[in-house]
Amino acid sequence: MKANTDAASTRSEIERTYRERRGGFLAWARAHAPDLATAEDVLQDAFMKALVNVSALSIIEASASQFRRDMWEEHRDVPMIACEKEALEGILAKACDEFGIALWISKGFNSESFDYEWAEEIKRLTRTGKTVHIGYLGDHDPSGRLIGESSRKKLREFGAAFEWERLGLHADDLERFGLELVPLKLGTSEKKGDPRAKRFRVEFGDRAAELDALPPGEIPSRIREFVGRFVDEEIRKRVERDEEVQKESLEVVVANWETAVRAARGAA
């Protein structure tokens, strides 16, 4: 949507004009004020009001283009996606935004503050009677497996109640997609390896791989499948209709902004 007035460029133009023509503006204000100090106050007040009006328009423009209702307010089950891989944040965020759900990127082993904040958000939702479902994505290797288990344990220690499901990477994904394998750091008699690798090898063997190795569309597909289980289509369609009506209302405000400002000034 393109508003009648581009707020950002208008603000820049006001600031530029004020700098370049301040002397002339001040002379005009001086002719209508009892002294120089009052004239300067009048000029500054007019300048600030102009910027405030443009800033308000900018906010409304952004609201009109980005407005979205939270459909999960009307759902009993609320999904979340969690992942250890910061490098995949863009792909994950796009898939999550499609449904308006939360994405938690741990960037490896979580800090206490990260898990606390996450747990508090889960508790906020469960206090309203909702059930939180977390879909987790991580590498199929010693660290990737442990990071997920560590996150789940810490969230529960902070008092969060939720359902947890690993969406990948799974052991059978390696053969199914022919993924490139990564070696386990088992160590030798001369060099100490990753102690987690030995436990991983007992359970899964010596085949490991990274989540990034999946085909590009596979991760978004898994997120959609997971989230889709909890979507009430009747609620979703109603919320989308409401969004369109409210967006249109905001667009009308933006399109008639100057008229509304003049009317407000007249009323004052």
- Residue 157 is predicted with a pLDDT of 96
More confident of the two residues 24 and 156? 156
SS (H, E, C) the chain: CCCCCCHHHHHHHHHHHHHHHHHHHHHHHHHCCCCHHHHHHHHHHHHHHHHHHHHHHHHHHHHHHHCCCCHHHHCCEEEEEEECCHHHHHHHHHHHHCCCCEEEECCCCCCHHHHHHHHHHHHHHHCCCCEEEEEEECCECHHHHHHHHHHHHHHHHCCCCCEEEEEECCHHHHHHCCCCCECCCCECCCCECCHHHHHHHHHHCCCEECHHHCCCCHHHHHHHHHHHCCCCHHHHHHHHHHHHHHHHHHHHHHHCHHHHHHHHHHHC
Give the percent of the chain with pLDDT over 90: 35
Which range (45-54, 150-159, 203-212, 213-222) has the least confidence? 45-54
More confident of the two residues 198 and 70? 198
More confident of the two residues 127 and 233? 127
CATH for 76-231, options being 3.40.1360.10, 3.90.79.10, 3.40.50.1820, 3.30.160.100: 3.40.1360.10
pLDDT digit string (tens) for 210-219?
Answer: 999 999 899 9
pLDDT confidence bin for 34, thresholds 50/70/90: low
More confident of the two residues 244 and 128? 128
The ranges of the chain annotated as CATH 3.40.1360.10 are 76-231
pLDDT confidence bin for 140, thresholds 50/70/90: very high
Question: For all residues of the chain together, what is the average pLDDT?
Answer: 76
User: Mean of the pLDDT values across residues 235-259?
Assistant: 65
